[in-house]
Structure 1
Amino acid sequence: MEPETLRAYVSENRELEKALTKRNQQYIFDLKKSLDAANLSEEEKTIALHEMLPVLVKEQKGGKTARQLFGTVSERTEAILNKPEEVKESTPVLMWLDNTLLLLGLLTIMVGLMSFISRGQGQLYGLLSLILASMAGGWVFYLMYKYIYQYEQKGADKSKRPKIWKTMLILVPAFFLWILIFSSTPWLPSAINPTVDPIILIVIGAASFAVRYYLKKKYNIIGSLSVPRN
């Protein structure tokens, strides 16, 4: 880190500490002693505190303590010393595409196998229905990651987790929209939503999995359904 940046961090930390409550000041004091005992460098200690203090000053206004936000001093020390290597997060579009291809592969193979067993009788879902349902479901799964799963990862800043009512306000309508798309698209005209031979559906499903595998390797996509959890 540049010396000027480090000096700015030290100055900002000092000012932020003055705004802490007595209890939180004691927590930071004890944390500094613990980090010193662990032989953490001054630069690393400054950076770690700079990540914590703005959050702590903001959240203490709502009555939260440092222990509630970051765990015990020993737990926070352990988290700082064993901070996991930062994984570059995939863009929302890539995560949505990854989910879409996964669902398209599952749905087309499932419908294809069921239709093959029943010899094509009673096949409800045309190709457009399956594509739209996969796209909608892919977005719902991304929203679940954005508002829930990302905060369950090791080292995640749980203080930024949205309120449960806000999460439900977004996820519940999105889920019902997905169900609506799934249940209504079979009524689309067959001219734009043709039923496809079961073998072709299975081939499309296999191709979806192959394309998904290729894109994950090419762009190092971290899927919203496969993020590491605690």
Structure 2
Amino acid sequence: MSEDKQGRNSGVQQHKPTSRVPEELTKRNQDYLFHLKKALAETKLTPEKQQAAIDDMVPQMLAAQKKGQTARQLYGTVAERVTAIIEGPKADPNAPQNKWLLMMDSSLMVFMVFNLMYGLMFLFSSRSKVQTGQAGILSEVILAVVAGYGIMMMQSTFAVRGSKRPPIWRLIMYGVIFFIVLTGTYTLVMLIPGPLNANLPATVYIVIGAVTLAARLYLKRRFNIKNTVF
């Protein structure tokens, strides 16, 4: 009987917090942790995650104590702290975006604009007015990638705040270089042979543009892409 009881007790003890509240904490902070532990015990968090949250807080509380700051001033009420632990850290809205996601978004935007523009152009004008290769799908892809990269670099540059932001003359110079590179790329892609870069029917361009728009909107939501052109 005693061995069975000890076995059951050892299983229960595995879920109990192993670390103790440091005596260096003030009575007020110890009381805060006491009520926080009780509140966390009523949540669906595992005992391990509950204790990990407490262990992360203790060094911060000890450091704040030296400045005369209490746990309530540091974390808010116990209920607010429990909510913060459950929801996890919030993303910084001002944090820099992933450059490759910005490039993808910008490239899709340019690709969408080209397809819709050429689709409407072919619907209301003679196709002969548009040179073969000028509206070729391969030309559009190359231009979209180059333009997407340039727009991403400009977005990343303008997003810098404070003393690290480049001077205005450098930003203007970058814009001029980007325009020259984009114009040169546009001139070169028009030289791609027709069979590899033939123009498509107007309806195909419009469908591709619409699909690209839907894909862009989905990816913006999926990866939370912000600070884009539009």
Specify the SS of the correspondent of 1:134: helix
Letter in 2 for 1:98: D
CA shift for structure 1 position 5 = 6.5
The one of 109, 115, 118 aligned to 1:108: 115
Q: CA RMSD in A?
A: 3.2
Which residue of structure 2 aligns with residue 143 of structure 1? 153
In the alignment, structure 1 segments of 5+ residues that lack a partner are 12-40, 45-84, 152-156
The one of 204, 211, 221 aligned to 2:208: 204
Is 1:86 aligned to residue 96 of structure 2? no
Which residue of structure 1 aligns with residue 189 of structure 2? 185
Question: Taking every aligned residue pair, what percent have the same amino acid on both sides?
Answer: 24
Which residue of structure 1 aligns with residue 143 of structure 2? 133
Specify the SS of the correspondent of 1:141: helix
The one of 100, 118, 122 aligned to 2:129: 122
Letter in 1 for 2:203: I
Specify the SS of the correspondent of 1:121: helix
Residue correspondence of structure 1 range 151-170 to structure 2 within 5 A: 151=160, 157-170=161-174
Q: 1:6 to 1:135 in 2, by over 3 A?
A: farther
Alpha-carbon distance in 1 for matches of 2:190, 2:206: 19
Q: 1:120 to 1:173 in 2, by over 3 A?
A: same
- Paired residues of 1:113 and 1:202 also in contact (CA < 8 A): yes
Letter in 2 for 1:111: Y
- Paired residues of 1:143 and 1:171 also in contact (CA < 8 A): no
CA displacement 1:139-179 (0-9 Å, x = unmatched): 2221221112x24xxxxx32221123433443322221111
Letter in 1 for 2:171: T
TM-score, normalisation: structure 2: 0.56
Alpha-carbon distance in 2 for matches of 1:129, 1:120: 17
Alpha-carbon distance in 2 for matches of 1:89, 1:130: 28
CA shift for structure 1 position 3 = 6.6
Letter in 1 for 2:193: P
CA shift for structure 1 position 114 = 0.8
CA displacement 1:88-142 (0-9 Å, x = unmatched): 5431111111111111111111111112211422223211111211222212221
Alpha-carbon distance in 1 for matches of 2:162, 2:96: 17
Which residue of structure 1 aligns with residue 104 of structure 2? 97
Alpha-carbon distance in 2 for matches of 1:5, 1:167: 42
Q: 1:6 to 1:146 in 2, by over 3 A?
A: farther
Aligned residues: 154
- Paired residues of 1:95 and 1:224 also in contact (CA < 8 A): yes
Q: Which has the larger radius of gyration?
A: 2
Alpha-carbon distance in 1 for matches of 2:61, 2:102: 35
Alpha-carbon distance in 2 for matches of 1:195, 1:110: 13
Which residue of structure 1 aligns with residue 223 of structure 2? 219
Alpha-carbon distance in 2 for matches of 1:147, 1:200: 36
Alpha-carbon distance in 2 for matches of 1:202, 1:119: 16
Q: 1:223 to 1:103 in 2, by over 3 A?
A: farther
